[in-house]
Structure 1
Amino acid sequence: MSPRPVVIHLYTDWCAVCKIESYHMSKDKELVNLMNDHFYFVNFEAEKTKEKIRFQNRDFEYLQNGSSGIHELALALSKNKNQPVYPLWVFLDKHQNLVYYQEGQMTSEKMKQKLLEISAL
């Protein structure tokens, strides 16, 4: 697999904004094609993903907290180390360096603009 920029979308099942955002983005064929052709896209459910994840040579685990929990990787990717804001978007260049970070809703137009900027790097 050749190196590509990575887009990580952190969300939760209970986040209404996340669901609306995902629905609108999935309907934008230009955005979907741009993402599929030039990026690795990771949809990451921050509170239900329980597998150990190896990322940038570190292992991250699920942190159980009673009947719920959160994945360590979600906390590591978030600037708010206590409770990430959802949706959370993390863009990495093909060398895995952070190039863009956004808490909260992303529009299809802004997403396309950011993808084009990053793919030009």
Structure 2
Amino acid sequence: MKKHVWIALFGLFGLLAVESQAQTLRWTSFEHLTDSLRKERRPVLVFIHTDWCTYCKMMELRTFSDQQVVTKLQEKFYCVRLNAEDNQPITFLQRAYKFKPTGVKTGVHELAQVLGTENGKLSYPTTVFFDQYLQLQGRVVGALDAKSLKQVIESGIVLNHLAPER
């Protein structure tokens, strides 16, 4: 019996060790993005979400924890999360954006509207891609699974991250 307990404990610790080695996506903020781009030019991915959005949570838990996605994004991109209902002002491209109330306890951040609006509508989640010079390259409205995000990143259809240095 003791032998089985020890085997189970070693197995559990082994799983925990493997789990702890799993990479997690490092997000940056808009306030740190400028400094990061000064150090090294990279394309930028902006993930627009809300706290109540089920599909946003799915992307955070599944897509942005997939090890291949994490590796590709960490190597090639700066990734920024933008909560569309955050009430903190954000400066981006030398312009200040703020939260706009639309009702009692509701509203939307101006930056989320500017970056995420497609055909006159802001939907969650929306993933916005910029090149290394912060030129808008495209946006994907709706949830992306890991396979789809890898295809978008690798295809270069939305992105032109291999553009020559200016």
TM-score normalised according to structure 2 size: 0.66
Higher helix share: 2
Match of 1:14 among 52, 58, 66: 52
Aligned length: 120
Further displaced range: 60-69 or 84-93:
60-69
Please report how far the alpha carbon of residue 6 of structure 1 lies from its aligned counterpart in structure 2 after TM superposition: 0.4
Whether the 8 Å contact between 2:63 and 2:144 is mirrored in structure 1 is no
TM-score normalised according to structure 1 size: 0.88
Higher strand share: 1
Cα root mean square deviation, aligned: 1.7
Larger Rg: 2
SS in 2 for 1:86: coil
Unmatched runs of 5 consecutive residues or more in structure 1: none
Task: Report the CA distance shift for 1:81/1:67 in structure 2 as closer, same or farther (over 3 A).
Answer: farther
Provide the rounded CA distance (Å) in 2 between the counterparts of 1:82 and 1:6: 23
SS in 2 for 1:59: strand
Match of 1:51 among 74, 82, 88: 88
Provide the rounded CA distance (Å) in 1 between the counterparts of 2:119 and 2:99: 15
Further displaced range: 92-101 or 22-31:
22-31
Unmatched runs of 5 consecutive residues or more in structure 2: 1-38
